Amino acid sequence: MNNNKKIKVFLVDDDIVLLKALQIDFEIQGEYEIKTFNSGEECIANLADSPDVIVLDYHLDGINKDAINGIQTLDKIKAINAKIPVIILSSQDKIEVAVNCMHHKAFDYVVKSETAFLRIHKIITTNYRFQKLENELKWYMDRM
């Protein structure tokens, strides 16, 4: 993928074991710069670091029952910067939940499973390539 720019990914999940596993999986790929957060509040407080994409847990209430949930976090992210793609990661395998996330402007929805990392990686790389092509096209069009 490269040109030596790593894709900056924020991983947000209150499940510390899953969070660490995702972090390791991404870091092994070598094309990502990873920052992890245990809550939506932490993620929002660090948005100035300009992530290229955010992978966000749907619930986020495992550590602190008063923490904002994934949808509330998604809404706040979009209010601050609507262009950041946010992938919702959830154990909820219900179409209603996925549709609700899309109504709140999630970029995609992935169910936690054995293949979740592969799906997230594919979503991110596809989006990255699309954005790169879009930027190149814009560059050429601006010169015409």
From first to last of the 144 residues of the chain, give the pLDDT tens digit: 445 689 999 999 999 999 999 999 999 988 999 999 999 999 999 999 999 999 999 988 766 778 899 999 999 999 999 999 999 999 988 999 999 999 999 999 999 998 999 999 999 999 888 888 888 888 888 887
How far, in Å, CA of 144 to CA of 142, rounded? 6
DSSP per-residue string spanning 67-129: S--HHHHHHHHHHH-TTS-EEEEES---HHHHHHHHHTT-SEEEE-STTHHHHHHHHHHHHHH
| Residue 27 parent element (H or E) | helix 16-29
116 is written with which tokens? 């979740």
C-beta separation of 69 from 101 below 8 A: no
Which one, of 26, 30, 22, lies nearest residue 6 by Cα?
30
Identify the three-state secondary structure at position 20: helix
Which one, of 57, 51, 52, lies nearest residue 38 by Cα?
57
Homologous superfamily of 7-142: Response regulator (3.40.50.2300)
Q: What is the pLDDT of residue 3?
A: 55
Q: What is the pLDDT of residue 90?
A: 93
